[in-house]
């Protein structure tokens, strides 16, 4: 079993919160993680609502089901029984004890008001993403921590270990896909994964059969990965009314297949009205939808660039779930032409800028937008890096550095496999 870097945060939440919800896309390893935690807790019972019998009991009498549970319980795929949440709330209010319920869900309850409101103030929600590169290499990544806290950087060489960056993009992080060395078998898994989710989960969430337009929409979003979300253009390409497109996007976000990266602005109010960037949850899934392999990624920079940017997005999002201090991820694009692929902002207002380049070399021009951003935000700017496909770590000046993309997972602490 590969150790998950989020495990310490889950254990900390269980220690002081009555209800802990671990949620994320299907097949990211939620069940494996909670079963391992339940096995370490004497008397804990594991129940999955994928089991028709258990789901039937919950549906018929949710209050009776909850009253009959042991002191500590793990309930898997809880989004299948939304009526369970009010009953859990009543039980927590009757006996408010940490670690009473550990839940998992393959739908984002924050986008399902009926569920999220039931346990407001009683539940901590923790995302579980596909494997990070560090988890696959038995490391807890500290890349984000090092940039935000001003940890020292030094000029050095950082060779790529093991798989090439192209192979890592094609593989992605879904546990089952990572186990399949053969490209055709991995592609078959992704095809089955998409079909199952768009049929079963869409039916369960939207109460309709799988939508014929969703596979095409998902492919269109893969082709626009790392680009601005232009709803009018996407609606035309998908041949969908704007209202229908909005609904379908909500479904894809609820199932964790698609994420939006918000724009950063010094004016917090303006962040809400700027168009976000769109990313799929996993580059293995993105490459499958685009029909490209490692050879094509190496031959077509126009394909490699956006996929690499989405790869960096996914790795940063994962690391932010276990970073030492809370922080948020954005991008910057101004009317004057300044564009920075990623901006990390912590609660002290410190800012880190990250540019992504698919080339193996970096020039002075590649730092231009970071320099403009640093000048615009002043003392809040902590550091800027250009992530690129080379091997040398070298400084542009004391705050701006060129850093190989493999630093994302190679700057970290060694783990032991569970």
CATH number, domain of 46, equals 3.40.50.300
Closest alpha carbon to 350 in 387, 379, 319, 317: 379
Asked if residue 117 and residue 152 are part of one domain, the reply reads no
Q: Could you say which of 97, 127, 157 is where a domain stops?
A: 127
Domain-embedded: residue 91: yes
Position 417 scores a pLDDT of: 47
Position 243 scores a pLDDT of: 93
Q: List the end-to-end C-alpha distance of the chain, in Å, as a whole number.
A: 5
Domain span at 203? 133-414
Position 208 scores a pLDDT of: 65
Question: Which backbone phi and psi does 212 adopt, to 5 degrees?
Answer: -65, -30
pLDDT beneath 70: ranges in the chain:
110-118, 207-210, 269-273, 416-418
CB-based burial of residue 107 (10 Å sphere; 0-12 exposed, 13-18 middle, 19+ buried)? buried
Number of neighbouring beta carbons within 10 Å of residue 180: 16
Asked if residue 115 and residue 138 are part of one domain, the reply reads no
Mean pLDDT of the chain: 92
Q: Could you say which of 127, 153, 182 is where a domain stops?
A: 127
Tell me the two tokens of residue 8. 């310490």
Domain-embedded: residue 86: yes
Domain-embedded: residue 1: no
Position 200 scores a pLDDT of: 81
β-strand partners of 333: 339
Position 117 scores a pLDDT of: 63
Q: Could you say which of 127, 148, 176 is where a domain stops?
A: 127
Question: What is the spatial distance between Cα 226 and Cα 331, in angstroms, rounded to a whole number?
Answer: 10
Asked if residue 116 and residue 141 are part of one domain, the reply reads no
Position 108 scores a pLDDT of: 84
> Is residue 226 a contact partner of residue 306, using CB atoms and an 8 Å limit?
yes
In 139-282, where does DSSP find H-type helix? Answer: 143-148, 165-171, 175-178, 183-196, 202-206, 213-223, 231-238, 242-254, 268-271
Number of neighbouring beta carbons within 10 Å of residue 79: 24
Domain-embedded: residue 24: yes
The tally of domains found in the chain comes to 2
Question: Which backbone phi and psi does 315 adopt, to 5 degrees?
Answer: -65, -40
Tell me the two tokens of residue 350. 């410190």
Question: What is the spatial distance between Cα 250 and Cα 236, in angstroms, rounded to a whole number?
Answer: 18
Asked if residue 81 and residue 163 are part of one domain, the reply reads no
Asked if residue 78 and residue 165 are part of one domain, the reply reads no
Domain-embedded: residue 2: no
Asked if residue 314 and residue 174 are part of one domain, the reply reads yes
Position 418 scores a pLDDT of: 44
Asked if residue 210 and residue 169 are part of one domain, the reply reads yes
Asked if residue 123 and residue 138 are part of one domain, the reply reads no
Position 116 scores a pLDDT of: 55
Position 281 scores a pLDDT of: 95
Domain-embedded: residue 54: yes
How far lies 356's CA from each of 252, 308, 311, 342, 383, in Å?
Answer: 26, 8, 10, 9, 15
Question: What is the spatial distance between Cα 29 and Cα 43, in angstroms, rounded to a whole number?
Answer: 23
The conformation of residue 71, written as its DSSP 8-state character, comes to: S
Asked if residue 268 and residue 373 are part of one domain, the reply reads yes
Asked if residue 286 and residue 213 are part of one domain, the reply reads yes
Asked if residue 120 and residue 142 are part of one domain, the reply reads no
Asked if residue 172 and residue 99 are part of one domain, the reply reads no
Domain-embedded: residue 318: yes
How far lies 387's CA from each of 104, 248, 353, 384, 407, in Å?
Answer: 34, 33, 11, 10, 8
Domain-embedded: residue 99: yes
């Amino acid at each position: 079993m590969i150790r998950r870097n989020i495990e310490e945060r889950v254990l900390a939440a269980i220690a002081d919160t009555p209800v802990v919800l671990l949620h994320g896309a299907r097949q990211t390893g939620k069940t494996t993680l909670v079963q391992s935690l339940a096995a370490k807790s004497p008397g804990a019972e594991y129940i999955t609502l994928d089991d028709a019998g258990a789901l039937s009991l919950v549906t018929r009498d949710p209050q009776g089901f909850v009253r009959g549970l042991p002191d500590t319980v793990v309930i898997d795929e809880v989004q299948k029984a939304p009526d369970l949440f009010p009953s859990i709330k009543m039980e927590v209010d009757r006996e408010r004890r940490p670690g009473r319920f550990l839940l998992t869900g393959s739908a984002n309850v924050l986008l399902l008001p009926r569920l999220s409101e039931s346990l407001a103030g009683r539940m901590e929600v923790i995302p579980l993403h596909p494997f990070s590169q560090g988890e696959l290499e038995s490391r807890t990544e500290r890349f984000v921590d090092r940039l935000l806290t001003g940890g020292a950087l030094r000029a050095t060489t950082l060779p790529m270990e093991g798989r090439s960056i192209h192979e890592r993009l094609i593989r992605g992080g879904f546990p089952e896909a990572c186990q399949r060395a053969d490209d055709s078998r991995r592609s078959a898994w992704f095809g089955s994964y998409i079909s199952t989710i768009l049929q079963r989960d869409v039916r369960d969430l939207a109460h309709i059969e799988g939508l014929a337009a969703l596979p095409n929409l998902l492919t269109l979003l893969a082709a626009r990965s790392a680009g601005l979300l232009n709803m009018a253009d996407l609606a035309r390409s998908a041949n969908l009314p704007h209202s229908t497109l909005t609904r379908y996007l909500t479904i894809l976000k609820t199932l964790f297949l698609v994420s939006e990266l918000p724009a950063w602005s010094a004016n917090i109010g303006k962040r809400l009205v700027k168009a976000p960037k769109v990313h799929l949850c996993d580059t293995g899934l993105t490459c499958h939808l685009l029909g490209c392999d490692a050879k094509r990624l190496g031959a077509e920079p126009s394909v490699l660039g956006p996929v690499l940017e989405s790869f960096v997005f996914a790795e940063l999002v994962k690391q932010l779930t276990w970073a030492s201090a809370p922080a948020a991820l954005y991008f910057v694009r101004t009317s004057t032409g300044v564009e920075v692929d990623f901006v990390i902002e912590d609660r002290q207002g410190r800012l880190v800028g990250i540019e992504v380049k698919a080339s193996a070399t970096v020039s002075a021009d590649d730092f231009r937008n970071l320099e403009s951003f640093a000048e615009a935000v002043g003392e809040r700017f902590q550091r800027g890096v250009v992530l690129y496909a080379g091997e040398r770590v070298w400084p542009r000046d004391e705050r701006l550095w060129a850093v190989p993309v493999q630093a994302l997972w190679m700057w970290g602490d060694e783990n032991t496999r569970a």
